[in-house]
């Protein structure tokens, strides 16, 4: 396949509002040793795109400092972690057999090569991502999904949202027959949690709001509580026996007030803080009941392998809320920030 000399990409050169996203013409990236060049078929958006652009992650001891999730961002940066596309060129020592194959990209940069390695970087944050027509990726991060019945849009919905959800479920030890609570359930990660926990045979209680409640129920939740009306009381009413695992992307007051919902040995897995990062709770509720709080950042390689298997056999049907062209990246991020959608928002380069 002919690769052009220049490509269109959307990049940021400093932290700020959506107006910082600029459409530019840049030289096509050249795959380095062990890398491949992927023509982007679809790229999905994530909350991390907003926080990275804004610099909203803070730093230890300076919660309001402008920062990416791992520290300072090296500008200019092309955003976009969730990429599916075809390999169109390979670098030195990369496998030529990958040429022409449709690939799901694992966007994480891990701290070691082991199956349980920790993510310490991310495409679109610590290296350029898929808000572009082409992107380079290390060969070992691309996974062949050529035969998957899922569309490019559905596949692009998977890496961060479903990878994070699988990481939470695996780290929390979700078991068949257990009762789980999912917060932020209409969002990308939340809906993935609902679908995956249901697929594992858990009883799924979800938290959502307004008109999105019906969609969350359709995605597989056994019961949905409205976060506008006393979340903890509603959950206690439908699950008086207590909760095995809370899969939480909201934190804030919900974590502090909700901790006593856990039954003996229960786990609270937290992966997001849309409701606030400063959490107060009564520590006695933790140790007197052998409860655990587990922080969960994205996925380990072994979680991504599970995800690729699901993608290949369409074991999950990701929900795509809307698609936009790359030129409308700013509008697309604003759409994500409105949080009126259910599922994933995707762009086409």
Sketch the per residue contact string, 303 through 342, with ligand NAP: x for CB under 6 A, - otherwise: ------------------------------------x---
> Quick one: which of 275, 312, 322, 328 contacts ligand NAP (CB under 6 A)?
275
Does 53 sit near ligand NAP (CB under 6 A)? no
- Tokens 């966007």 correspond to 107
> Quick one: which of 188, 258, 301, 349 contacts ligand NAP (CB under 6 A)?
188
Give the nearer residue to ligand NAP in terms of CB position, either 70 or 348: 70
Give the nearer residue to ligand NAP in terms of CB position, either 7 or 44: 44
Cα separation of 44 and 82, whole Å?
Answer: 5
Give the nearer residue to ligand NAP in terms of CB position, either 127 or 263: 127
Does 48 sit near ligand NAP (CB under 6 A)? yes
Strands 119-122 and 108-110, bridge-based pairing: antiparallel
> Quick one: which of 55, 80, 190, 258 contacts ligand NAP (CB under 6 A)?
190
Secondary structure of residue 97 in the 3-state scheme: helix
> Quick one: which of 52, 56, 164, 333 contacts ligand NAP (CB under 6 A)?
164
Secondary structure of residue 277 in the 3-state scheme: coil
Which residues 289-308 are close enough to bind ligand NAP by CB under 6 A? 296-298
- Tokens 């390695």 correspond to 117
- Tokens 């082409």 correspond to 134
Cα separation of 329 and 48, whole Å?
Answer: 14
Residue nearest to ligand NAP (CB): 187
Cα separation of 10 and 263, whole Å?
Answer: 47
Give the nearer residue to ligand NAP in terms of CB position, either 91 or 275: 275
Write phi, then psi, for 129 (nearest 5 degrees).
-115, -155
Question: In the structure encoding, which two tokens stand for residue 86, read together?
Answer: 């075809």
Q: How far is the CB of 133 from ligand NAP (least distance, A)?
A: 24
With contacts defined by CB under 6 A, name the span among 8-16, 102-110, 151-159, 270-278 that binds ligand NAP: 270-278
Does 184 sit near ligand NAP (CB under 6 A)? yes
Q: How far is the CB of 319 from ligand NAP (least distance, A)?
A: 11
Give the nearer residue to ligand NAP in terms of CB position, either 100 or 295: 295
> Quick one: which of 52, 186, 195, 255 contacts ligand NAP (CB under 6 A)?
186
Q: How far is the CB of 324 from ligand NAP (least distance, A)?
A: 15
Cα separation of 303 and 166, whole Å?
Answer: 6
The DSSP 8-state label assigned to residue 19 in this structure reads: G
**String of DSSP letters for 174-199:** --TT-EEEESSTTSHHHHHHHHHHHH
The closest alpha carbon to 160, from 80, 228, 95, 64, belongs to 80
* Residues of this chain that bind ligand NAP (CB under 6 A): 46-48, 51, 160, 164, 184-190, 208-209, 212, 227, 249-250, 271-275, 296-298, 339
């Amino acid at each position: 396949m002919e690769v052009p000399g220049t490509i269109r990409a959307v990049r940021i050169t400093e932290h700020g509002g959506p107006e910082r996203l600029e459409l530019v013409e840049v030289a096509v990236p050249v795959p380095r040793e062990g890398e491949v060049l992927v023509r982007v078929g679809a790229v999905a958006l994530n909350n991390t795109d907003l926080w990275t652009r804004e610099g909203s992650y803070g730093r230890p001891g300076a919660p309001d400092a402008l920062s990416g999730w791992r520290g300072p961002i090296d500008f200019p940066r092309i955003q976009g972690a969730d990429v599916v596309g075809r390999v169109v060129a390979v670098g030195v020592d990369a496998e030529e057999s990958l040429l022409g194959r449709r690939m799901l990209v694992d966007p994480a940069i891990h701290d070691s090569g082991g199956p349980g390695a920790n993510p310490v970087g991310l495409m679109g944050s610590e290296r350029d991502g898929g808000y572009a027509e082409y992107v380079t990726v290390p060969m070992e991060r691309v996974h062949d999904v050529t035969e998957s019945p899922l569309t490019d849009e559905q596949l692009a919905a998977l890496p961060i949202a479903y990878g994070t959800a699988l990481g939470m479920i695996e780290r929390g030890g979700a078991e068949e027959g257990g009762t789980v609570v999912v917060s932020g359930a209409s969002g990308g990660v939340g809906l993935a949690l609902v679908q995956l926990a249901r697929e594992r045979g858990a009883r799924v209680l979800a938290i959502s709001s307004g008109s999105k409640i019906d969609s969350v129920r359709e995605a597989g939740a056994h019961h949905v509580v409205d976060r506008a009306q006393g979340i903890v009381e509603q959950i206690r009413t439908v699950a008086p026996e207590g909760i095995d695992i809370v899969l939480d992307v909201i934190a804030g007051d919900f974590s502090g007030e909700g901790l006593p919902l856990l039954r003996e040995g229960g786990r609270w897995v937290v992966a997001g803080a849309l409701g606030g990062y400063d959490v107060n709770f009564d520590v006695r509720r933790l140790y007197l009941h052998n409860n655990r709080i587990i922080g969960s950042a994205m996925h380990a390689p072994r979680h991504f392998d599970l995800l690729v298997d699901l993608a290949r056999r369409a074991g999950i049907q990701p929900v795509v809320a809307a698609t936009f062209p790359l030129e409308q990246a700013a509008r697309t991020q604003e759409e994500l920030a409105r949080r009126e959608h259910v599922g994933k928002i995707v762009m086409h380069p």
